[in-house]
Amino acid sequence: MTERPKLWREETVETKPIFDGQVITLQVDTVRLPDGGTTTREIVRHPGAAAIVALREDKLLVVEQYRKPMEKFQVEIPAGKLDPGEDPMEAAFREFEEETGYRAASMKLISAFYTSPGFADEKLYLYWAEGLEKGTMQLDEEEYLAVDAITFEQAQQYIREERISDAKTIMAVYAWERYRLTGTI
C-alpha cells in the first residue's frame, strides 16, 4: 500500500484584486508553500449558480444560446447565477421560469459541485424539477436563447457532436439516464 503524502494548506500572504465584473472577479493571491517558498494563484471568484434538470413528456428541457468564450452555439440545461445571498433552490425556481417559461412545483437537489476548482470557486447546484406547469418566460435584457425539448437519444447524439459539451448538462444527461434505469434521481 502506497503511503499517502502529507497534505497542507496554502497560507495567503497577499491578495491583489485584478478585475471586478458583473459575473466574476479575478484576483492573484501570493501563497506560502510548505517549504517556505511562495508562488501565485490566479483565482476567479463567482457567486455560484443553479441548474435544472426538467423532463416534460420524457423530453429534457434545454436552451440553446451562443457562448462567446467557445465561439459556438451550445445546448444546455437551464441555469443561472445566484444573486448575492440568494438560496440556491430559490435561484433554481427563478432561473427555470425565466429561461423556459415553465414553473416547477418542487425541486430536489441532485448534487452540488465546483466547476473548476483549480482556478475558480464557482459552486453549481444541480436540481431535478417536478410538477411542471406553464409560467412566464422573462429573459434578462442581454439574454438571447431558444427553448427546446430533446429526447434521451438526441441528448446522447448532441454530446457526441459537442452541441452539448458543458459539464452541468452532461451531468444532467447522466442523472436522466440513472432515472430511466432506476426510477430514482
Beta bridge partners of 124: 49, 113
What pLDDT does 101 receive?
A: 96
Which tens digits make up the pLDDT trace of 145-168? Answer: 999 999 999 999 999 999 999 999
Is beta strand 49-56 parallel, antiparallel or unpaired with respect to 123-134? parallel
**Backbone torsion region of residue 101, taken as left when φ is above 0, otherwise alpha when ψ lies between -120 and 50, otherwise beta:** left
Domain-embedded: residue 1 = no
Together in a domain, 149 and 164: yes
- The CATH number that applies at residue 118 is 3.90.79.10
Percent of the chain having pLDDT more than 70? 99
Instruction: Confirm whether pTM is higher than 0.75.
Output: yes
DSSP code at position 120: B
Report, as an integer, the average pLDDT of 76-83.
97
Together in a domain, 15 and 61: no
Together in a domain, 35 and 93: no
Domain-embedded: residue 17 = yes
Together in a domain, 157 and 112: yes
Domain-embedded: residue 6 = no
Number of H helices, E strands in the chain: 3, 10
SS3 content of the chain, % helix, strand, coil (to 5): 20, 45, 35
Map residue 82 onto helix, strand or coil: coil
CB 83, CB 68: distance < 8 Å: no
Together in a domain, 36 and 106: no
What pLDDT does 4 receive?
A: 72
Alpha helices in the chain (DSSP H): 88-100, 152-161, 167-182
What pLDDT does 51 receive?
A: 98
CB 134, CB 44: distance < 8 Å: no
Domain-embedded: residue 160 = yes
Domain-embedded: residue 2 = no
pLDDT at 174 over 80: yes
Domain-embedded: residue 36 = yes
Give me the active site residues, please: 141
What pLDDT does 142 receive?
A: 86
Together in a domain, 40 and 59: no
* Rounded (5°) CA angle 45-19-88: 30
| Segments forming the whole domain that contains residue 101 | 49-182
What pLDDT does 1 receive?
A: 66
Together in a domain, 89 and 177: yes
Domain-embedded: residue 25 = yes
Which tens digits make up the pLDDT trace of 80-92? Answer: 999 999 999 999 9
What pLDDT does 6 receive?
A: 77
First to last CA, the chain: 36
d(CA 96, CA 27): 31
Q: What domain count does the chain have?
A: 2
Together in a domain, 91 and 149: yes
Together in a domain, 141 and 110: yes
Together in a domain, 40 and 57: no
Together in a domain, 72 and 22: no
pLDDT at 72 over 90: yes
Domain-embedded: residue 59 = yes
Is beta strand 102-114 parallel, antiparallel or unpaired with respect to 123-134? antiparallel
d(CA 65, CA 185): 27
Together in a domain, 55 and 29: no
